[in-house]
């Protein structure tokens, strides 16, 4: 890359055409440059709903949703590198996200889980209520024009959805119910009683920009190659029946299982997934923009979150969690649904792409119009977020 190119902002060469027949992919530098990641953190990752990482420990193995269920409960969390805390209301049942930064002199407010009608800052004793309002502080008698609006904590939206805790940094983020409406419509018959798998969760830093992981997830085109037969995912599904459905903020990919025994009981899915030839849906692979994959299988739900790490455009904090619907099938997930194998094959492919995009020989790609609608959808949305013309 020339010095000129790196001096330009992301918007300079971020345009991705709406028409897949002519569109070029995002440039390679979108996956390697800090300026790109900084722009995404300021746009994509403030406006969108993010999975709040689970924080189960040996002392408290409960899911995050359970940890913040009680009135007045609060727990510190980190999202996109920012210190925050979740707070359940005391006078109401609302769940809110707040900066874990005191409005007085920026000391962290919530060092660990706690519960009560108010919290007191550990540095100089400023007191806040569960709605984030400044309540009192010794020594401020005589202060004029106080408290100001910014002496209260900024409340950001948070919600629990099917046992997952989600939050957004921008109070003007779209309503979560609207974002997830198409997902909900596909799950109306699926019991909302999944339990978090004991030990079924992990957060690890992996190679590759967050967009590579999202792109890989949305790329069914590679299944016949990277996950090829014999013995691969291409064997377990009827690839010719693969469907990709694009929504405003979500994408659904689904396919019929080769062996009906590996598919969903039709009673658990809406009528539109029924098949008169008796074929059954292998999985509902949902992607919620920008970085959340919700993989519904007959055994339950595998959640993947591709979280950016500030200042590290070439790495991703990969969170995955399992929620179990059918324990017997869950025990067979690697054999019948090839979970571990597909994961390993994707990790290897991603590492190879990482080398390629850093090679200095990576032109902007083109999209196969019949195969890569979802990849194009992702690139287009990121392009708009970073301000491309």
Per the listing, tokens 């924080």 go with: 55
The binder of 314, among Fe ion, ligand FES, none, by C-beta within 5 to 8 A per type, is none
Question: What tokens appear for 115 in the block?
Answer: 């519960």
Site string for ligand FES, 3-22 (x = CB under 6 A): --------------------
Rule CB under 5 A: choose which of 24, 235, 346, 371 binds Fe ion.
Answer: 346
Residues whose CB is less than 8 angstroms from the CB of residue 230 and which lie 6 or more positions away in sequence, other chains included: none
Rule CB under 6 A: choose which of 90, 107, 221, 242 binds ligand FES.
Answer: 107
Nearer to ligand FES, 129 or 372 (CB): 129
| C-alpha radius of gyration, the chain, whole number | 23
Q: Which of 197, 176, 156, 159 is nearest to 63 (CA)?
A: 197
* 102 binds ligand FES per the rule CB under 6 A: yes
Element (H, E) at 243: strand 243-246
The binder of 102, among ligand FES, Fe ion, none, by C-beta within 5 to 8 A per type, is ligand FES
Query: What is the Cα–Cα distance from 11 to 385, expressed in whole angstroms?
Result: 9
Question: What tokens appear for 168 in the block?
Answer: 């957004």
* 105 binds ligand FES per the rule CB under 6 A: yes
* 17 binds Fe ion per the rule CB under 5 A: no
23 in Cβ contact with 380 (< 8 Å): yes
Which three-class secondary structure state does DSSP give residue 236? helix
Nearer to ligand FES, 134 or 287 (CB): 134
The binder of 193, among ligand FES, Fe ion, none, by C-beta within 5 to 8 A per type, is none
Per-residue b/e over 13-42, b at no fewer than 16 CB within 10 Å?
A: bbebeeebeebebbbbbbbbbebbbbbbbe
Q: Which stretch binds ligand FES (CB under 6 A): 84-92, 100-108, 165-173, 326-334?
A: 100-108
* 104 binds ligand FES per the rule CB under 6 A: yes
Q: Listing from the earlier edge strand, what are the strands of the sheet with 250-256? A: 195-207, 315-324, 300-308, 292-297, 281-288, 250-256, 243-246
Minimal distance, residue 73 CB to ligand FES, in Å: 21
Nearer to ligand FES, 101 or 165 (CB): 101
The binder of 121, among Fe ion, ligand FES, none, by C-beta within 5 to 8 A per type, is ligand FES
Instruction: Count CA within 13 A, CB hemisphere, residue 141.
Output: 2
* 110 binds ligand FES per the rule CB under 6 A: no
* 127 binds ligand FES per the rule CB under 6 A: no
Minimal distance, residue 104 CB to ligand FES, in Å: 3
Nearer to ligand FES, 20 or 109 (CB): 109
Rule CB under 6 A: choose which of 6, 114, 118, 123 binds ligand FES.
Answer: 123
Q: Which of 268, 301, 308 is nearest to 286 (CA)?
A: 301
The site for Fe ion (CB under 5 A) is made up of: 346
The site for ligand FES (CB under 6 A) is made up of: 102, 104-105, 107, 121, 123-126
């Amino acid at each position: 890359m020339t010095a000129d190119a790196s001096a330009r902002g992301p918007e300079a060469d971020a345009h991705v055409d709406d028409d897949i027949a002519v569109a070029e992919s995002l440039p390679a530098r979108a996956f390697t440059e800090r300026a790109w990641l900084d722009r995404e953190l300021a746009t994509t990752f403030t406006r969108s709903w993010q999975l709040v990482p689970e924080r189960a420990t040996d002392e408290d193995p409960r899911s995050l949703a359970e940890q913040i269920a009680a009135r007045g409960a609060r727990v510190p969390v980190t999202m996109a590198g920012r210190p925050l805390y979740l707070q359940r209301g005391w006078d109401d049942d609302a769940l809110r996200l707040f900066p874990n930064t005191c409005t007085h002199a920026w000391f962290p407010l919530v060092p660990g889980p706690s519960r009560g009608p108010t919290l007191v800052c550990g540095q100089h004793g400023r007191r806040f209520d569960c709605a984030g309002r400044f309540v009192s502080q010794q020594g401020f008698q005589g202060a004029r024009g106080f408290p100001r609006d910014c002496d209260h904590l900024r409340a950001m939206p948070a919600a629990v959805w099917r046992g997952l805790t989600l939050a957004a940094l921008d109070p003007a983020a779209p309503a979560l119910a609207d974002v997830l409406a198409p997902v909900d419509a596909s799950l109306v018959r699926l019991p909302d009683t999944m339990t978090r798998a004991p030990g079924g969760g992990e957060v690890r830093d992996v190679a590759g920009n967050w967009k590579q992981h999202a792109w890989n997830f949305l790329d069914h085109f590679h299944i016949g190659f990277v996950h090829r037969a014999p013995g691969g995912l291409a064997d377990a599904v009827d690839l010719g029946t693969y469907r990709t459905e694009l929504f405003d903020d979500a994408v659904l990919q689904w396919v019929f299982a080769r062996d009906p025994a590996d598919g969903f009981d039709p009673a658990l899915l809406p009528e539109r997934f029924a098949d008169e030839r008796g074929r059954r849906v292998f999985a509902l692979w949902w992607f919620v923009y920008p970085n959340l994959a919700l993989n519904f299988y007959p055994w339950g739900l595998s959640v993947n979150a591709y979280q950016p790490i500030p200042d590290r455009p070439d790495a991703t904090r990969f969170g995955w969690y399992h929620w179990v619907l059918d324990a017997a099938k869950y025990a067979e997930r690697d054999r019948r649904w090839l979970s571990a194998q597909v994961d390993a094959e994707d990790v290897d492919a991603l590492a190879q792409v990482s080398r390629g995009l850093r090679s200095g020989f990576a032109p902007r790609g083109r999209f196969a119009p019949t195969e890569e609608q979802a990849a194009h959808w992702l690139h287009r949305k990121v392009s708009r977020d970073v301000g491309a013309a």
